Amino acid sequence: MPAAAPAPPPSPSGARPLSPARKALIKLGLVRDIDLALHLPLRYEDETRIRPIAGLRDGETAQVEGTVVHSGVQQGARRQLKVLLDDGSDTLELRFFTFFPSHLKTLAEGAQIRARGEVRGGFVGRQMLHPAFQPAGGPLPEALTPVYPTVAQLPQAYLRRAVDSGLARADLSETLPPDAPPAPGARPLWPLRDALHFLHHPRPDVALATLEDKSHPAWQRLKAEELLAQQISQLESKRERDRLRAPTLAAARPAGGGLSLHEQLLAALPFQLTAAQRRVGAEIAQDLARSVPMHRLLQGDVGSGKTVVAALAAAICIDAGWQCALMAPTEILAEQHFGKLVGWLEPLLAPRGQRVAWLVGGQKKKERAAMLALVESGKAALVVGTHAVIQEQVKFQRLALALIDEQHRFGVAQRLALRGKGPGGLEPHLLMMTATPIPRTLAMSYYADLDVSTIDELPPGRTPIVTKTVVDSRRDEVVARIAAQVAQGRQVYWVCPLIEESEALDLSNATATHAALSEALPGVLVGLLHSRMPAAEKKAVMALFSEGVMGVLVSTTVIEVGVDVPNASLMVIEHAERFGLSQLHQLRGRVGRGAAASACVLLYSTGDSGRLGETARDRLRAMAETTDGFEIARRDLEIRGPGEFLGARQSGAPLLRFADLETDAALLAWARELAPAMLDRHPALARRHVERWLGSKSEYLKA
């Protein structure tokens, strides 16, 4: 469904520059009437009642009317205006630290005043600091007064008027078809118009708690609407994709008989696939055999064996006579990740006259040109490199499958990059791999457009990793532990802190740690790896560690993903409080790959405050409590919220504003059921519904 162009903000003279308030409205995405109508209050103020002063309680916000019996400016440490109000039941002191001559006039003795503010108890009677005030006796509103989310340049009063006029003008006609399934819960959904009018101006007798927790029927309607819009647009893009065509890749025997590459690779593997690997392998093979492009996420914990599954998919593609691209986020990861796999595949491809092409940034011009020629001629059956492989001007002859590893954020960008890479209007299949699983609720809502395969089992023989958090001042004990591990022939990773602002600081810290550990561990080869080292040097260091010659490897986060040294049994993460949860989990996954008991030490520092921040503490606790990647992802979502978890701007998915995936699971299920029926039977209503909710938002998110 094409997104409607947002209506230009109404401007009386066209050319006149926008006022700051108008600009602020646009910044908030409040462009169309319906956007304003859907901008809902954060909370309400009750201006419908006048309360007797005698009944006011400390801390509540209230409105009173009375006569000014005293008014005067008090000099002293803080100059202030003090006004004493009497309503016959008791007196109330109004205090102002900033005031204008007009205040003095309105609040003169004898004046009848209506004041509104937070009540403070206190020994010397009740007070209000800086209350809002006006002459007494004006009409009282019949509804609660809405307080809207806003920004600095946008005063509440202006926003209230804008919302009211948007609400009056917007098209609020019903988009739910008469045959919609009943909404969860006992009551039918309110009409949208009633729900919106109610939420903007609720009657004062409403149970405020039901507005706060959004359980009120008016909120139910809004959340149902929002979820439905999201489900329809996700389903729409899935169907759009289903209209595209991809090469059908069925596992095939070579013409002259003999084993297929797929069979050869299976035979060459030094282990048996786990049941989970076989299951997801079959899911992928089924997708590849269809003429609709695959759009699948393969998720499985660190070390669960995703790469092999990807290699088998590549083999199916190559067997069918097509090219496959395999990508990792960085060059070093591409090499580490796929080194083993390429080692398995290359000897099998050579007899068929096929090659593996490497495409990485640091390549010599001549080598690169040769690789590009291999890709273009189709001789390279497998092309390995960074994401640039599909983004750059790499011309595939017959690309049919793109495999993207450790892609934390995926979606639109990759899909678009693949457009047109296949021959003759065919779209390549796409498989993305991640060790950071998407919690189920998110998968159902934000990634309804994505098929998910899950490896939920680790290869046999892995030992559970024990995780300990240790305060930085006990570093010496950690060093002693390292010495003990190395004495037993084990190896140790030490990951240095992430200082995002400064690569130089990262480096100096790693260098210092490297020097300190070298000194503390005489006779142990301590290596250093950081992102600025020349590729050849990195390779040499990695080789020494892989071969077991090097006991300790100090590194910046370049080993975050992909290193595979089963003899490593201890992972120390310095300044663990600075890392994100999924990153910590990835790092920890570098140990526990062999039979030896493994441990992860999270060294943390509390800095000057002497205490860890709340989110840092939550992250470290989650790490210590579980090694399950799914549980980690759930906690990560809890700590960060869906916005950051998803990286909304990048994924292009507008975030839910009102619905909560946990509490509104039943409404989500309702929306999932209704969405296909809307598209099939009521396409015009579906379009109007999505446009109402996402019409300008999608544009706004891309801005």
Please give the structure tokens belonging to residue 355. Answer: 């090659």
Residues 6+ apart with CB under 8 A from 24: 150, 151, 152, 153, 154
306 binds ligand ADP (CB under 6 A): yes
- Judged by beta carbon distances under 5 to 8 A according to partner kind, the member of ligand ADP, Mg ion, none in contact with residue 277 is ligand ADP
CB of 662 to ligand ADP, least distance (A): 28
Of 244, 273, 413, 701, the one binding ligand ADP by CB under 6 A? 273
263-283 burial code (b ≥16 CB/10 A, e <16): ebbbeeeeeebbebbebbbeb
CB of 383 to Mg ion, least distance (A): 18
Please give the structure tokens belonging to residue 38. Answer: 């859907």
- The residue of the chain with the least Cβ separation from ligand ADP equals 305
CB of 372 to ligand ADP, least distance (A): 28
Q: How far is CA 665 from CA 182, 191, 700, in A?
A: 15, 21, 27
User: Which of 419, 4, 1 shows the shortest CA–CA distance to 231?
Assistant: 1
Asked whether 64 and 51 are in contact (CB, 8 A), the reply is yes
Question: Site mask, ligand ADP, residues 128-167, x = CB under 6 A?
Answer: ----------------------------------------
Asked whether 518 and 526 are in contact (CB, 8 A), the reply is yes
CB of 341 to ligand ADP, least distance (A): 8
Residues 6+ apart with CB under 8 A from 648: 642, 654, 655, 701
The DSSP code for 351 is G
Centre a 10 Å sphere on the Cβ of residue 36 and count the other Cβ atoms it contains.
Answer: 23
The whole-angstrom distance between residue 695's C-alpha and the CA centroid of its chain comes to: 22
Closer by beta carbon to ligand ADP, 590 or else 619: 590
Which residue type occupies 84? L
Of 63, 145, 304, 696, the one binding ligand ADP by CB under 6 A? 304
* Stretch 557-596 residues interacting with ligand ADP (CB under 6 A): 564
- Judged by beta carbon distances under 5 to 8 A according to partner kind, the member of ligand ADP, Mg ion, none in contact with residue 585 is none
Closer by beta carbon to ligand ADP, 231 or else 264: 264
- Distance, in Å, from the CA atom of 482 to the CA atom of 516, rounded to the nearest integer, reads 13
Q: How far is CA 657 from CA 145, 229, 425, 692, in A?
A: 21, 12, 38, 14
Residue 205 three-state SS? coil
305 binds ligand ADP (CB under 6 A): yes
3-state secondary structure 73-112: EECCCCCEEEEEEECCCCEEEEEECCCCHHHHHHCCCCCE
- Judged by beta carbon distances under 5 to 8 A according to partner kind, the member of Mg ion, ligand ADP, none in contact with residue 183 is none
- Judged by beta carbon distances under 5 to 8 A according to partner kind, the member of ligand ADP, Mg ion, none in contact with residue 300 is ligand ADP
Beta strand spans in 273-318 (E): 295-300
435 binds ligand ADP (CB under 6 A): yes
Binding range to ligand ADP, per CB under 6 A, among 58-66, 175-183, 287-295, 302-310: 302-310
- Distance, in Å, from the CA atom of 360 to the CA atom of 338, rounded to the nearest integer, reads 13
Asked whether 684 and 232 are in contact (CB, 8 A), the reply is no
Of 117, 131, 247, 303, the one binding ligand ADP by CB under 6 A? 303
CB of 305 to ligand ADP, least distance (A): 3
Residue 38: its H or E element: none
Closer by beta carbon to ligand ADP, 169 or else 278: 278
Closer by beta carbon to Mg ion, 162 or else 458: 458
Binding range to ligand ADP, per CB under 6 A, among 128-136, 157-165, 196-204, 297-305: 297-305
- Distance, in Å, from the CA atom of 25 to the CA atom of 36, rounded to the nearest integer, reads 9
CA torsion sign, 158 to 162 to 168 to 173? negative
Closer by beta carbon to ligand ADP, 272 or else 502: 272
- Judged by beta carbon distances under 5 to 8 A according to partner kind, the member of Mg ion, ligand ADP, none in contact with residue 654 is none
Closer by beta carbon to ligand ADP, 277 or else 698: 277
Closer by beta carbon to Mg ion, 274 or else 307: 307
Binding range to ligand ADP, per CB under 6 A, among 189-197, 305-313, 385-393, 652-660: 305-313
Q: At which residue do the structure tokens 């809004």 appear?
A: 222
* Stretch 455-514 residues interacting with ligand ADP (CB under 6 A): 459
Question: Site mask, Mg ion, residues 278-317, x = CB under 5 A?
Answer: -----------------------------x----------
Tell me the sheet residues that pair with 239: none
307 binds ligand ADP (CB under 6 A): yes
Question: Exposure of 391 by Cβ count < 10 A (0-12 exposed, 13-18 middle, 19+ buried)?
Answer: middle
Binding range to ligand ADP, per CB under 6 A, among 162-170, 299-307, 504-512, 658-666: 299-307
- The residue of the chain with the least Cβ separation from Mg ion equals 307
CA torsion sign, 653 to 659 to 663 to 668? negative
**Number of shown-chain residues binding ligand ADP (CB under 6 A):** 16
- Judged by beta carbon distances under 5 to 8 A according to partner kind, the member of Mg ion, ligand ADP, none in contact with residue 202 is none
CB of 609 to Mg ion, least distance (A): 37
Q: Contact positions toward ligand ADP, by CB under 6 A? A: 271-274, 277, 300, 302-308, 435, 459, 564
Q: Contact positions toward Mg ion, by CB under 5 A? A: 307
